[in-house]
Structures are given as C-alpha cells and as structure tokens.
Amino acid sequence: MKTLIKLTRAICLAISSLILLTACNPGNIKESENTSTEETEDILQSTGLNADSVEEALAKAEKALQNGKIELAQLYYIKAHNLEPNNTQVLQKMADLYININKYDLAEVSFDLILKQQPDNLKTLEQYGLLLINMRNYPKAEEYLNKVITKQKNWRAYNGLGIIANLQGNALKAEALFKKANSLLPNSPDLLNNIGFALYSANKLDEAASYYLKALQINPGFKKAIYNYGLVQARLSRYDQAYSAFTKIASPAEANNNIGYIAMMNGDYTEANNYLQEAIQSAPEFYKKANDNLMRLDVLQKQ
C-alpha cells in the first residue's frame, strides 16, 4: 500500500504540472495515506471530475483514454483504486496503461499488488515476466515466465524465455524455445524471425535464411526479417542478394556500407573495398561510416 501511495502522489504531481511521470520521482516522496487520497480528491472535485463508484471511475477513465487524455485517465484509475483498493481489475487496467506509455516502474507496482492477492494469476505472471525483460531484469523475468509454462502452454512465455536465452548467449536453447512458441502459434512472422535469429546466432546461416524467407512469405514488408535476411546473405558472401534485400529498407549508401563491412569481416577485402567506395560515392557528405570502415580495411590488409 505504501508504494501505491507514492504512485498516487506522483500521478497527482504529473497532473498538476501538466507533464508525464518521468519528471517525478515517487521514491523520494513520503506522504501519508490520508494526504495522498485527499489530494487526489481535491484535484477531481476542483475540476468537477469526481466519480462516486468504481464503475463510474473506470468508465470515465476509458473515455479519457479514447480522447487521448492520458493524465486524466490515470487520475480516474487512482480514484477507482481509492474506492476499492483490492480490485484487481483496476490494478490490471493501470498496469496496461503504464506499459502502453512505457512507465514500466509504475506497471511493476500494479503487478506486484495483483500478485500479492493472486500469486498464481497466469495472465499477470506472463505480462510481468515480459515487462521485466524490457526492464532488463532477466533472472526475475525467467522465474515468472517459467511459472507460467509449468501450468499452461503459452507461446508468449516461450517466446519471452527464448529472448532471454538469446540475450544470454544460449542460441540453441533460444531456438528450442522459439520453436515451442511457434508450435503454439504457427505462421507468426515474428516467431519465424526469432527462430531465424537464434539460428543465425548459432551460425546455422542457411537454415536461418529459410526461416526469414518463411516470415517474408507471410509478411513481405516485415523490415526486421528483410534486414536479417540481407545480413545472412552477406555473411554467406552472397553480396548481390544481400544488396537486393538491404535496398528494400535502406538507401543504397547504407546497403553498400553494410555489405562492405560484412565483406571485410568475411575476409573478402576486394569486395569490401568496392562496396565501401560505392557507399562513399553515392552519399559522400553523409557516409562517414564508410570512410571509417575503409580505414579499418586498410589496416587489415596491411597485417
């Protein structure tokens, strides 16, 4: 409860100063429950925006969201919580809002309060686990997502665990987890792209390319898969195919620089020089990167 009081105070400050919550630091604010509640009520009543029930507060919050009034919606959610502190529906709506506006620390407060009442709430465990990945708290994210998959086949949880495994450098584990997710949600371009990336990380380049192509068959405009497919082709020294892919989503200068750099890493120094020179000629005023890569190439060639 003390943490939520700090959250309430932070929202009140955000409303009164007409800015988002990043400018406030709830951890440095120490207010009593009565003071925080009173301030919330004062703001609502002074503006004629009061609500007499949870249902009314939630309805007004939804209307505020539809009109793009995020700060006002937050106030109504706080009002709803003041009316029914143990209402997990209210806490869930607050968490959803905070995730949407990238206020992850505040979403975490709401999830913690839900799990105190419902420690086996699989939806909350899943959402919280995925949120913790964004917050880079991988051990805790893994703990929560593993709780989900022990009780439910959940593609989002498997995908999240795959992302963690990849970030930790375990490409084979990531591949297996992404494939489990894909078995539950077939033909998802995102999951196919993730499998491809795990395979790429494991240096299974041809197999990775096949998954990127599967993703692109479903969604031809999927930029991540296009880029990754180009990356694989360049790694395989298929530079023409790589250029064709990169130029679908980037300028010729960027494509040439990307390929030049990868060719240099492949040890194909002549190809690297040609592509980097082309990058400079196509955008000399912009492409400092290509010049830097040419200097690096010169050092490598002299070794």
Q: What was the pLDDT predicted at 285?
A: 64
**Superfamily grouping for domain 187-246:** Tetratricopeptide repeat domain (1.25.40.10)
pLDDT in tens, 46-61: 555 678 899 999 999 9
Sites in the chain below the pLDDT cut of 50: 1-35
Note if the pTM is more than 0.85. Answer: no
Residue 60 half-sphere exposure, CB side, CA atoms within 13 Å? 20
Do the two domains 1-118 and 187-246 of this chain adopt the same fold? yes
The residue extents of the domains of the chain are: 1-118, 120-170, 187-246, 250-303
Residue 293: closest CA among 277, 126, 32, 112 = 277
Domain made up of 1-118: CATH architecture = Alpha Horseshoe (1.25)
pLDDT in tens, 217-267: 999 999 999 999 999 999 999 999 999 999 999 999 999 999 999 999 999
Q: What was the pLDDT predicted at 281?
A: 87
Check residue 283 and give left, alpha or beta (phi > 0: left; psi -120 to 50: alpha).
Answer: beta
The first and second tokens of residue 99, run together, are 């995730």
